[in-house]
Structure 1
Amino acid sequence: MRDMLHRAVSLGLGLAVASKEQIEKTVEELVKKGEVSRAESGEFLEELLNKGSEAKARMDQTINDKVQGILKDRGIASQDEVKALERRIAVLELAIARLEKQDGEKAE
């Protein structure tokens, strides 16, 4: 069983994109073939699902890091940077409005 788990983990991408139903079906087939006992199947299934979740999380992080790197290399602002600029603009607009109001009061 451990050998099969290691082979499955080495195919982490496959586990990451496989649905729970697909993994359950595979484990059920292993039980039918006698490669995994019914008692071991629950633990094996849980291990595969956990490894799949871990592989998916690593894959998602890698993709996110790559996309952020590409955007940075191209000089494209991130959503956080845009929001920070919007806040700065709002502060500046408020300051300008106050100055215009003060100038208007002085002119009267």
Structure 2
Amino acid sequence: MKELLKNMIYTGVGAAFLTRDKLDEIRKELVDRGNLTREEGKEFVEDLLKKSDSARDQLELWLSRQVEERIKGLNLATTDEVEELRRKIEELQVALNSREQPKANNGDAEDTEDA
């Protein structure tokens, strides 16, 4: 569910996340037209890549928070909560088995005495 939501939002804002290849293409065009020097073009691409990475990180963080909030709103048990319940069930089973075992042993002793 989290991945699906992430992919939907990435699709919606995909234009904001240009690839290095696309940015290099834009840089080359600007340098060829004389709008930028080679050094300015290189700085331009690096700056946009950093901003794109930062925007992607912020979007992923925001998405994670949104998904977590939605899941909490559904009142679903977390993996940790389920594991805790499993652990408690196992403890109860051990305790129950240890209580039943002496009774079973006592029952055997009574059967031999009656015979």
Name the TM-score, length of structure 1 as normaliser.
Answer: 0.69
Letter in 1 for 2:22: Q
* Residue of structure 2 aligned with 1:101, choices 84, 98, 101: 98
| Secondary structure at the counterpart of residue 36 of structure 2 | coil
1:31 and 1:38 in contact (8 A); partners too = yes
- Structure 2 CA distance for aligned equivalents of residues 101 and 90 of structure 1: 17
Could you give the per-residue CA deviations for residues 43-67 of structure 1, whole angstroms, max 9, x where no partner exists?
2111110000001111111122222
Pairs aligned (count): 93
Q: Percent identity among equivalent residues?
A: 23
Deviation, 1:104, is 0.7
Aligned to 2:15: 14
Q: Is the partner of 2:58 in helix, strand or coil?
A: helix
Q: Unaligned regions of 5+ residues in structure 1, if any?
A: 1-11
Q: How does 1:66-77 map to 2 (within 5 A)?
A: 66-77=66-77
Which TM-score applies when normalising by structure 2?
Answer: 0.66
Query: Contact 1:23–1:45 (CA<8 Å) still a contact in 2?
Result: yes
Contact 1:13 1:55 in 2 (8 A): no
- Tell which structure's C-alpha radius of gyration is larger: 2
Q: CA deviation at 1:40?
A: 1.4
In structure 2, runs of 5+ residues without a counterpart are 1-12, 106-115
Structure 1 stretch displaced more, 49-58 or 60-69: 60-69
